Chain A
């Protein structure tokens, strides 16, 4: 009786089909993924994770299961391929202690590997596994189930008909128990769901495909929701990374731009330049400082950095060119003392080697820093180096998303770009981010007839603000930058 009642309740819990109520969902605990799935996985239904070997399916499924287990929804992981002991060990590398949850009866790892020596003679079904699971589900009141490598099970069947029959039985079994299920299946190459297991696609209410691609020697993992019955979802491909906390996704929603309105003008740190810009930079906008090597770009950025820090505003300096120590020491020559600003944590300098990571990891670190240190302004030195994250496209993705994230948070971005060609203007629009840049300052220097170096500065663009379009002579002195009055 009790079982029957529970079964009815379970059926009700999963059923939006009889009403206009919103589809009940279960959070995955992976913040970006919950956004893409508009609230998580379908409760009481089957979600299929498909992808090639090593694409991150198992980690993703396990992470969802653990989130549930920690949030009071005990879960079972059924392993068709790996040993439970190996899984426990792997989980450690993401800092997940499975044994602790197992001891608390919140998690159960079911070893479902068939004896490879067993002889197969005629038809069979997985009734015994389901009977064992039933006992577990009851004793631990499990709500979630994660079936890893269902393809290994299906390989045992010799005909598509028996595969289909088994899957159908499994599907019914899951639905009857009202379990929220995640299943992984291996795919090859471009397939999203293995064509021979079309029924898998049918039984799943939500299908997520994960893959891993290598472009220019840098690997990017991506996920895409193929379908989600009864729910909206993000339609793009979302890059993700796997780091010491498991899966991290920074979804891009290009269709919704929620930029803040630019704030008031703030000083560039140089009175002459403030005049040229009719008051200074606009807070919360993106400014590009372009020029050849040695034109004074970094110096100009540091002049601003110092002024902002001295006003009490935090600056995050993302440096792809040199180490924090090198930056500090190089700025001593134009008389900009950065060390005291770093000491008081007004200035945070983070140096990264562009080719050390893919775009996603770079972005992950940058956004994490934005959220944790809450800077008012950031400096990216230099965006030209971002190409070394893989390609021009990689640089574009990184900058577009970083700058968008800053605009959403009202953070001023000072981007430095090293130009090489003679046609500086073409160079500036090179990476293709000019649409998101509000102000462009161009620096150039050349030898004069007298053998001295002449430096010039001009403002090529300044959105929503008047500016001088003259070339202005400037000098780098041991007290910073001086604009020569025309």
Chain B
């Protein structure tokens, strides 16, 4: 609880910065649904109001997957702020996802 509090207090969002995510899913397969849910939850908790999630269904739009070099689903790409980051999988490991997306609040996290 303590850690979380500290996190909330100081999350590292540059002023006016909007996070842009692109989430590649494959229809409604279970890993894709889980990733959607996990991402929405993490964003709400960490960067409420300042994020945008574009969802691409690779089954309907394989060309976009190809252009983004996406081979597995689910794949989450942090488009902005740079540098780009890719996270593969259903995003079940919240701590890992937060760290990878640079959403962690404090230096000791």
* A residues whose Cβ falls under 8 Å from a Cβ of B: 111-112, 114-115, 117-129, 131-132, 134-135
Contact = CB atoms under 8 A, between A and B. Distances in A.
B97 interface: yes
A124 B74 contact: yes
A296 B96 CA distance: 83
B86 A125 contact: no
A125 B24 CA distance: 12
Contacts of B31: 122-125
A121 B90 contact: yes
Given A127-B59, A132-B62, A121 B75 contact: no
B105 to A, nearest CB: 19
B54 interface: no
A150 to B, nearest CB: 13
Interface in B65-93: 65-66, 69-75, 85-93
A119 B101 CA distance: 10
Contacts, number: 92
Contacts of B97: 119, 121
Given A128-B26, A128-B71, A121 B62 contact: no
Contacts of A124: 31, 72-75, 88-90
B72 A119 contact: no
Given A121-B87, A124-B90, A127-B59, 14 more contacts: A115-B69, A119-B100, A121-B90, A121-B92, A122-B35, A122-B89, A122-B90, A126-B71, A127-B72, A128-B75, A131-B58, A132-B62, A134-B62, A135-B66
Contacts of A118: 75, 86-88
B63 interface: yes
B70 A128 contact: yes
Contact of A131 (B59, B69, B87, B90): B59
A122 B34 contact: yes
Given A125-B72, A127-B26, A128-B24, A119 B85 contact: yes
B89 A114 contact: no
Contacts of B96: 119, 121
Interface of B: 24, 26, 29, 31, 34-35, 58-59, 62-63, 65-66, 69-75, 85-93, 96-97, 100
Enumerate the 9 nearest inter-chain pairs by beta-carbon distance, A residue then B residue, closest first: A122-B89, A127-B26, A122-B90, A122-B92, A131-B62, A118-B86, A119-B100, A129-B71, A128-B58
Contacts of B85: 119
Nearest to B94: A121
Given A129-B72, A131-B26, A122 B59 contact: no
B40 to A, nearest CB: 15
Given A123-B31, A125-B26, A135 B89 contact: no
8 contacts: A114-B71, A121-B93, A123-B89, A124-B89, A125-B31, A126-B71, A128-B62, A135-B66
What's the dominant secondary structure at chain B's contact region? mixed
Nearest to B73: A127
A463 to B, nearest CB: 66
Contacts of B74: 124
Contacts of A129: 71-72
B88 to A, nearest CB: 5
Contacts of A111: 69
Nearest to B35: A122
Contacts of A131: 26, 58-59, 62, 65
Given A119-B96, A131-B59, A125 B29 contact: yes
B89 A126 contact: no
B26 to A, nearest CB: 4
Contact of B65 (A115, A122, A132): A132
Most buried by A among B63, B65, B71, B97: B71
Nearest to A112: B71
Contacts of A123: 31, 89-90, 92
A132 B87 CA distance: 19
